[in-house]
Amino acid sequence: MSSNFRAANSIDADVDGSGMRIALVCGRFNDHITNRLLEGAENALAVHGVSESDVTIVWVPGAYEVPMAAKALIVNGHADAVVCLGAVIRGETSHYDFVAGECARGIQDVQLETGTPVIFGVLTTENLEQALARSCDDDNKGEESVRTAIEMVNLVRTLSRS
């Protein structure tokens, strides 16, 4: 059952990225997918007012290395938020389970340790078709991840002033 209940103390964050420093960490493995996510992310950055001079793009070998690069960007003061982009596509071995799970855990750990939004824009799909569907113009998870990053930066800033 859904409700239209709205608490008196509800806090919404907007998606105005003006003045925000956003870093994108991209995994090179499956870069035919990651490049599509990056294109969506760059489009969203422009639409939401993030200046090109406030964007840092870092490439790493694969999804497993993404959390370390995200943490380095934050610890060294390069970003107000980090968007992690990549693609882990299930294969014939259990390698997928280890890479996808550890990438997700690492991203969450960095976010919680630093208090900085670190967004999980790494596709974890069963096959190439699913990865292509989630990185196309109509449904691009790179674009969605940027909107999430901007919203979370604004939310954290609002909460710190409350």
Q: What is the pLDDT of residues 90-118, one digit of tens each?
A: 988 888 989 999 999 999 999 999 999 99
Which listed residue (32, 48, 78, 95) is catalytic? Answer: 95
- Average pLDDT, stretch 24-35? 98
Residue type, 49: G
User: Whole-number mean pLDDT of the chain?
Assistant: 93
Quote the pLDDT of residue 52.
Answer: 97
* Domains present along the chain, CATH in parentheses: 22-161 (3.40.50.960)
Task: Give the separation between CA 32 and CA 35, rounded to whole angstroms.
Answer: 6
Task: Give the separation between CA 117 and CA 119, rounded to whole angstroms.
Answer: 6
Contact by Cβ (8 Å): 150, 157: no
Residue 10 has pLDDT above 80, yes or no: no
Contact by Cβ (8 Å): 127, 90: yes
Largest CA distance in the chain: 51
User: What is the helix (H) or strand (E) element at residue 57, kind and residue range?
Assistant: strand 55-60
Among 20-24, 88-92, 125-129, the range scoring the smallest mean pLDDT is 88-92
Tens-digit pLDDT profile for residues 63-91? 999 999 999 999 999 999 999 999 999 98
Provide the pLDDT confidence category of residue 14 given band limits of 50, 70 and 90: confident
Active-site residue flag, 32: no
| Degrees, nearest 5: CA angle 63-65-69 | 115
**The whole model's pTM is what?**
0.92
Residue 138 has pLDDT above 60, yes or no: yes
Percent of the chain at pLDDT > 70 equals: 92
Quote the pLDDT of residue 92.
Answer: 82
Residue 8 has pLDDT above 70, yes or no: no
Task: Give the separation between CA 16 and CA 91, rounded to whole angstroms.
Answer: 39
Task: Give the separation between CA 114 and CA 135, rounded to whole angstroms.
Answer: 28
DSSP letter at 56? E
- 140's tokens: 């691009």
Contact by Cβ (8 Å): 34, 72: no
Quote the pLDDT of residue 7.
Answer: 62
